Structure 1
């Protein structure tokens, strides 16, 4: 039977192989347009009869990725106002009950991505006894632009609304609302980093997995207001919600993309504030860094990829073009003394070019050190690193940003991932990584020792097989004490 009843009405799903049933495009909030534009999400309208839930719904408005990332990172753009929707994959809902639930928050720099991307199909999780949910949230200006008289972080408010919907309805799909794990990558993980300390999210999830993002990515109000002013000036409007709402989406979306291009071309702190380092004009707005305390009550699994920043250096051709002066300047901007830090990085990478050293430094600043700081803040957390290297771009792509995703979702054969993975990715590594995520959702234990100050144990996911390591690259980690 593929009909289940939510508080808004009944939905009809589709039976899939492996005893899995999917329910797609279910609205968890009202369409965020008209009078609801730039406001907190409102409850969805109920419906009568049985709603068809066999096809994905619309996505929040966003422009496609710019080249070359449009060919490397999965995304989906589907027009329609009912875009605040979610998708569920569950073991046979007639027989399943009290199952763990995993809720996916996609990445995309807070400007791209969708829960409907085939790469995020949750069938493998349901096959393994977990109810998997993916969702959309507002992006770009609609989700994260700071506007007078409107709530900040509307995209995060959407995520919270979806988690509340799950609390109220997931038992109808065999899930246990007391066993919810949120997991996300990049902007999705950065979102979770904010939700960990947000009182509005308390009690909505029990565990969290943060992939390539943690608590350090946000904009203070003054920086967010600089971004608002720049976008308004670009559009020739006043920086008010009414003025932004009057801009047609075919004009607003390209302007957002151009704004990020301008930021990347001219990362002047006088123009952008903190966004000049983060390189993302749309981020959660927060007064400062907030790390959860040891009594936060959330089980945490946190990590990053060994060579994250190569995704932004290799496909663009920048890896071989970085001059030593730029490496020095960026290292200093991140807070390190180049004369002290760069010899430490170079010692572990004989013959490395300035671009390769920039990858190592930027990867630590953006991704690895925020993960370490969060693990230090919450005793009993688990830390991982993904270091399997892609053969793409003659091997230069390495263990780049987003490369772990097909292994997490156990979807190595999805064509959407082929540009990142190359030929013959190791299924054994997908079995290990996906299996660890499932184990953590079910038990709170992914299968290795937790991260403690004395040992700093992490799991290195690589081939020929994952292995526990103690304090990886300790000399480089120590450089960031009191810096990041």
Structure 2
């Protein structure tokens, strides 16, 4: 594939069910697969969620005449300047924010279709953008995988409780985007029967949410969860939060009330509620983030863990894991405050007391010896991410499941921090803005290994190491060198007995 790109048109066109779209060819990097990738950007899968559709369920995009120019990213639900973020995720202005971006090595190829990766971006459900250069699917294309990135409504617009509005509007956006993929991906050379959903952080939480939803099972074949912020807020807490935020905004908790507030005011109101810190620990222990999926009894009938225990999604191949030091940098930035907080109070915030606290400190003695900041970072990391890996493994039972740890430490701070594995997953070490996260010269062999595992999983349903079948099963540890170790989340296990 790609050897005759020079003879093909620079701007290929594809006929979707809604209308024709025009993309453009770009080169891939490294490897020995396809030399070119065709990008089709900003294809709307829903009508713009503005005016009377702002707080409504998404409405499928109506057909259009002519050819849609898909050579630039569409508008994003993230608005304004997000500031300094771990991943470069630009905001694009405009009203039509519900889009997909398709990257393919073989547009219009009909048979056999290539496997498909659908990426759901992170950002705490209130930020993030599918227009990140780190999410470019060109090197998945090089290795024979069609790649799609999707957008969804964020923050209160996507997830806030409103008295007379549909719940889980952002989740409904995921579902409609996946329906678009199922309907259209064959026109881009993909196989709608071989779709893998993947995401990191809140995107990983989206993956576990979809994995546990009965209504989503026909939309994907397998799932890959990187550092998933798992959970779904109980309906009562979502309503309490929505009423309180409406009161602070001086409006009724209705669609009419919220429609009276400009975007900027809503972003201002939600900002304090979305900061990472002790409040994050409390939210995750009691269900989920305040602006995220909600157990509404309809679309989402139970928490993701409860659904997994019921066997929902249990037949789908599933990879789950996290980085070793997800939130240690967050703790370091709070060092001036942490020095005044007793260690036991910090541990109690994470639900650790009594025998559980003693066992946890013994299992993490090396980290505890490095001081309060490092211990706090480990507690945050374990409570929000790594303990949930173990909970998922236990809930999944005998389903085809693989687990990993990403342990390579950044050349900057010596930590395997939040988001550090994303450029390795996408094999984009030549991308922009890596140095602040990875330091200079991140290891190419590790990117080859992490990316190859993802390609193999999407293509063949197996990432290349033994399944996790019971306590003590092998865990893939990505590092330099990588290794396969038994029960390598054991230092987190005491967190499972913490108060929830």
Q: TM-score, normalised by structure 2?
A: 0.88
The residue aligned with 1:237 is 251
2:366 corresponds to 1:351: no
Does the aligned pair in 2 maintain the 1:119–1:417 contact within 8 Å? no
The residue aligned with 2:347 is 331
Q: For 1:253-288, what per-residue CA distance to the aligned partner results, in whole angstroms no more than 9, with x for missing partners? A: 222224435x958x499xxx8478789431111165
Q: For 1:97-135, what per-residue CA distance to the aligned partner results, in whole angstroms no more than 9, with x for missing partners? A: 410000000000001111111111111101110000001
Counterpart CA distance in 2 for 1:320 and 1:472 is: 32
| 1:240 Cα deviation from its structure 2 partner | 1.7
Q: TM-score, normalised by structure 1?
A: 0.91
2:378 corresponds to 1:360: yes
In the TM superposition, 1:93-112 aligns within 5 A as 93-95=107-109, 97=111, 98-112=113-127
The residue aligned with 1:81 is 95
| 1:343 Cα deviation from its structure 2 partner | 2.9
Q: Which runs of 4+ in 1 moved over 6 A?
A: 275-279
2:422 corresponds to 1:405: yes
In the TM superposition, 1:39-78 aligns within 5 A as 39-65=56-82, 70-78=84-92
2:450 corresponds to 1:433: yes
Task: Name whichever of 398-407 and 237-246 sits farther off.
Answer: 237-246
Counterpart CA distance in 1 for 2:225 and 2:206 is: 9
The residue aligned with 1:136 is 151
Does the aligned pair in 1 maintain the 2:108–2:187 contact within 8 Å? no
Task: Name whichever of 332-341 and 193-202 sits farther off.
Answer: 332-341
Does the aligned pair in 2 maintain the 1:232–1:238 contact within 8 Å? yes
| 1:359 Cα deviation from its structure 2 partner | 1.5
RMSD of aligned alpha carbons = 2.4
Counterpart CA distance in 2 for 1:390 and 1:343 is: 25
Counterpart CA distance in 1 for 2:446 and 2:49 is: 40
- Closer, same or farther in 2 for the Cα pair 1:218/1:327, shift >3 Å? farther
- SS in structure 2 at match of 1:182: strand
2:485 corresponds to 1:469: yes
- SS in structure 2 at match of 1:291: helix
Q: For 1:327-383, what per-residue CA distance to the aligned partner results, in whole angstroms no more than 9, with x for missing partners? A: 322322322216514531442336221111112222111111211221222222000
2:291 corresponds to 1:282: yes
Counterpart CA distance in 2 for 1:190 and 1:279 is: 10
Counterpart CA distance in 2 for 1:370 and 1:197 is: 15
Counterpart CA distance in 1 for 2:495 and 2:387 is: 10
Q: For 1:392-427, what per-residue CA distance to the aligned partner results, in whole angstroms no more than 9, with x for missing partners? A: 24x3xx001111011011111212322111101001
- Closer, same or farther in 2 for the Cα pair 1:479/1:253, shift >3 Å? closer
1:13 to 10, 13, 23: 23
The residue aligned with 2:266 is 252
Task: Name whichever of 290-299 and 179-188 sits farther off.
Answer: 290-299
- Closer, same or farther in 2 for the Cα pair 1:278/1:427, shift >3 Å? farther
The residue aligned with 2:403 is 383
- SS in structure 1 at match of 2:307: coil
Q: For 1:418-474, what per-residue CA distance to the aligned partner results, in whole angstroms no more than 9, with x for missing partners? A: 2111101001110000110000000110000010115321100001x2211100152
- Closer, same or farther in 2 for the Cα pair 1:473/1:381, shift >3 Å? closer
**Structure 2: gaps spanning 5 or more residues:** 1-8, 28-34, 297-301
Counterpart CA distance in 1 for 2:114 and 2:363 is: 45
The residue aligned with 2:208 is 193
2:132 to 113, 117, 134: 117
Counterpart CA distance in 1 for 2:117 and 2:245 is: 36
The residue aligned with 2:327 is 309
| 1:138 Cα deviation from its structure 2 partner | 0.3
2:166 to 151, 159, 163: 151
Task: Name whichever of 139-148 and 450-459 sits farther off.
Answer: 450-459
Does the aligned pair in 1 maintain the 2:40–2:71 contact within 8 Å? yes
- Closer, same or farther in 2 for the Cα pair 1:239/1:63, shift >3 Å? farther
Does the aligned pair in 1 maintain the 2:126–2:274 contact within 8 Å? no
| 1:84 Cα deviation from its structure 2 partner | 0.3
Task: Name whichever of 97-106 and 291-300 sits farther off.
Answer: 291-300
How many residues are aligned here?
Answer: 469
**Structure 1: gaps spanning 5 or more residues:** none
The residue aligned with 1:181 is 196
Counterpart CA distance in 2 for 1:174 and 1:466 is: 34
Counterpart CA distance in 2 for 1:281 and 1:201 is: 23
Does the aligned pair in 1 maintain the 2:79–2:93 contact within 8 Å? no
Task: Name whichever of 442-451 and 250-259 sits farther off.
Answer: 250-259
Counterpart CA distance in 1 for 2:80 and 2:234 is: 25
